[in-house]
Amino acid sequence: MKIGSFDLEKDGVYIIAELSANHNGVLQNALDTIKGAKEIGANAIKLQTYTADSMTLDSDKEDFIIKGGTLWDGKKLYDLYKEAYTPWEWHKELFEYARAIGIDIFSSPFDKTAVDFLEQFNPSAYKIASFEITDYELIRYTASTGRPVIISTGIATIDEIQDAVDICREEGNEDIVLLKCTSAYPAPPDEANLKMIPNLAETFDVVSGFSDHTLGSTAPIVAVTLGAKVIEKHFILNKAIGGADAEFSMDKEEFKAMVQAVRDTEKLLGKINYTMTEKKKKSRQFSRSLYVAKDITKGEVFTQENVRSVRPGYGIHPKYLKDVLGKVAERDFKFGDRFE
């Protein structure tokens, strides 16, 4: 499966820097963040495409006041989304700039009009946010574009995840990525449940990954060891910019360190390979083999005193020791001679 030109099977882990609200309403902040994401080695920058009116109602009723122990408790939903949204008139410049500097770019649409709007920019994928996984019509409409669909599973039941996958496939779209996600901001480590990453891939026969809201880079690293092919993390150039998502976003230095840690983890994991490489062959000189430990004259019996398995490894394999012991020497051997 490919996202843009990136092959998830061959090219490693696809790392997404989530811009979200981290422009804090300033276009130049958004452009600088895209540049920063490129500089630190992210594969993609991801936007969010919505308006306050497409997300909620401008209501002061209790239902529309945020509560529940979030960073935004007491704020109206409408006011939060009005503050956090990325102006649609910025999108053309953001897409063009990202492509000009060589970083992938796409977005999370939050309704059908956002999908229609984004299509003009030929995005490499679409991301369904965790709270939108129950919006089956949005998933269907998005999948019908034929572009890869990345879906966060944060609040979903197993049946809802299955429904989302089935809807994509009903639209003829098999390019599906499911991201393990804990929809808390920030997310506590004991709720990460990263063991679900390989289970998502196996259960739903899709590519799996991790949308991370924990603090630090430990969780993404562990996710990669468990098979995550996609890592998404909120990115902010500098937390001094402020904004709705700044507190649980990684700044440039933190994100750069995470990218490097993920790439190092990929190298460490390597691949299953039992072949004898040239480096392995060279290293075998430090293994054990059979050598003469005492001078042996012709006709003398080989014993554990005059034949030993020692380093280096230029002689015959130690497994032949039992075959050598008890045999009679057919010639003289000197101390330090190898058995060949």
Residue 167 lies in a domain: yes
Q: State how far the Cα of 336 lies from the Cα of 292, in Å rounded to an integer.
A: 5
Query: Nearest-5° angle of CA 187, CA 47, CA 217?
Result: 35
Q: Which residues pair with 6 in a beta bridge?
A: 3
Q: Examine the domain organization and report whether 32 and 112 are in the same domain.
A: yes
The answer to whether position 67 is within a domain reads no
pLDDT at 235: 96
Whether residue 259 sits in one domain with residue 119: yes
Residue 277: predicted pLDDT: 86
pLDDT in tens, 221-252: 999 999 999 999 999 998 888 887 888 899 99
Q: Within a domain: residue 221? A: yes
* pTM of the model as a whole: 0.88
Instruction: Report the number of distinct structural domains present in the chain.
Output: 2
Q: What is the CATH number of the domain that holds 161?
A: 3.20.20.70
3-state SS string for 159-201: HHHHHHHHHHHHCCCCCEEEEEECCCCCCCHHHCCCCHHHHHH
Looking at the structure, do residues 213 and 308 belong to the same domain, yes or no? Answer: no
* One domain, residues 16 and 144: yes
pLDDT at position 129:
95
**Judgement on whether residues 264 and 283 belong to the same structural domain of the protein:** no
What's the DSSP call for residue 333? B
Secondary element (H or E) of residue 262: helix 252-269
Claim to verify: residue 122 and residue 211 sit in the same structural domain? yes
Q: What is the pLDDT of residues 122-159, one digit of tens each?
A: 999 999 999 999 999 999 999 999 999 999 998 899 99
pLDDT confidence band for 69 (50 / 70 / 90): confident
| Model confidence pLDDT, tens digit, residues 95-112 | 999 999 999 999 999 999
User: CA 129, 89, 249, 74 torsion: positive or negative?
Assistant: negative
* Residues 135 and 253 placed together within one structural domain of the fold: yes
The answer to whether residue 59 is domain-embedded is no
Considering the domain architecture, whether residues 118 and 199 belong to the same structural domain is answered as yes
Per the domain annotation, does 72 fall within a domain? no
Q: Is 295 within the bounds of a domain? A: yes
Of 184, 187, 211, the residue nearest 200 (C-alpha) = 211
Q: Which residues contact 168 (CB under 8 A, 6 or more apart)?
A: 139, 143, 149, 174, 176
Q: State whether 42 and 22 are in the same domain.
A: yes
Structural domain for 13, as ranges? 2-50+85-269
Q: What pLDDT score was predicted for residue 301?
A: 97
Same domain? For 193 and 286 the reply is no
